[in-house]
Structure 1
């Protein structure tokens, strides 16, 4: 890494799992507006469903998710009952069933649901949507909470992809982040899932954690690859204690600096490539025959709130406290507090707290940003033309790109913007040049690398 580029790695920019990003969901979209959006969804539209369960057994210090620790089963059971009512409310707004192509359970720890509640929720979704035969049914799992009974429940419900939160195999790092789980435990979970027929397994790893070194990150990458998951995500830890106060439990002095973070990211990536994984976007790796790797090769890769995905849906319907949905008209987000979310549903209203109505320029800039994040290249003016916008509207982005072009982070050939192969880790900075909201927002984001 050229030393003069290091300062770029410490810039704060969004992760661009949406555009506009969530801090800018400020329009007064309410339950009635969302009702209308659902009713207007075309009959042929393909939908993706996300179910959020905001509970964990304990809080990991690094966590950036909307969740809280719960010791008793009663709050989770009550939440499941309300979630059923929300699904029914939203489905009632749709004029007939819609084809469901992707179902994702996230959290928190969605596997904390009682197996009977989990099955009932899965059955309800199947009864209210036309589930495609090849639909992906995915769930995020904490290996520490996986039991034989849970695995059997997942298989019965039709789960066909499971994502395991591993983060790091080093005991010192695990202690520092409040997530202690042995390598043997992860091996046992992988074996149990595979025996149950859930063969598509993802693993989440992290760099930039306290006490990590490049050598230890390589070791974790080697151990993860040896278990032969279909996909491995390699995320940079986002230290944002002003947003997630429990991150104050992490000793900031033990966090690696910008140079060390880059070394860790590059070292782990090199190990995963050596094990036969194909880089996908900035932080995913997949086996060459996995649909994610195929999508990256064919230019059909997508990016949404779950990160890089093959999800082809025309609309995302989110269920659960804080969950986000996207329809052709724009974004909506549920009330983030469980109490407010539940009260709205008990009153017969969808629990929308805020949203964002998309303009033509929002849609065009979103497409440019997504293609940059997925393909590392885009013809910006061709995208604007498809949305009925003139090239003059891009003047602000071109001006912002100039220093990045000068430092070799981006290349411009007419309207075509590209990120060189050895600068892919900086693509969020290039994408941010097209973010019309970023210069005017007070929101703080994670570092670029």
Structure 2
């Protein structure tokens, strides 16, 4: 049996190797099935990067020390990629349709700062080739495009360094001028890469939301951090090369901790609306209820259920339904206080937690949200083209602690029952859960 398993694994590996080899054939790339404007954009970027590499071969002399620095940066990049490989596979899949942010820029930007352009280009090629072979989540033409954007970003940074102090290049001047030089180079590096990637995302999917294509602000903070670490690595190479090992170990620990935290956040978020999901809402609601009990303060819960939402899906399609959910989610998020927590509870139901919300405040919030939803005008995509949906309504149920219940389960049931009562009474209204006394069983 063992020999059969080994034979099957060998066959599977051979099959995988053949598929990977076919994927590298340009004729097999899915790029050619893309719109012409996308094909042209990608080819222009790739050719421009190749021209930059060829054009800089004689730009500066390459010394033995440069080869040593290249080896240190390449090894550091390889160890970094291996150490974070598992979580980066997941992140790259999760980043589909938006700019994919990673910390490889730490090594490539360090190379741009201290290596001659040909060796900096070689470092970029080695880093991205290693990443592709180990992660294997990106098609070859996309890998090539990503590497090309980094080459062009490095060229933009190099131009800035030369313009500020040509005598120090490759490298950067000391003192305040050096700080200015690496800052300008970092901004040029970031902007060039970011603009090229966002352009590709928008051209590939013209209907994509521009805000989603730009990515999250927190992702750009990661990019800024990686460039700062690149400056640190470059400085250490120039003065204390052995300390790069310590920096690498530090980065590996921070990288894993940072990205695990990102995935914990993602696990608490509803992917369609960007709101908290019901699991996270329950978790925070229990903590807020415990605080309310401890401080003897009220707590409000609002349930909002979109009326006749199924008819939107049936008439305009599920894409339109998703757009309605996002529009409602954005409206609720903007209207509520910073301390309030709104979540998508499931389907077309939203739940709002109001810390310190008494009965008057909770009912007023429910009525305000109902009015806002009723006044929405939402442009959506349908099989027949763009349409604007209006006259959207919702049924709202509110419950408060301690009047409606003293446990989270009781409060949720009270708000849910009130929402059902609002629907039964004709929809598009707010119903308050009745007060519950110790002698009165909670409504079932």
Same topology, TM > 0.5 = no
Which has the larger helix fraction? 2
Query: TM-score, normalising length from structure 1?
Result: 0.28
Query: TM-score, normalising length from structure 2?
Result: 0.28
Which has the larger strand fraction? 1
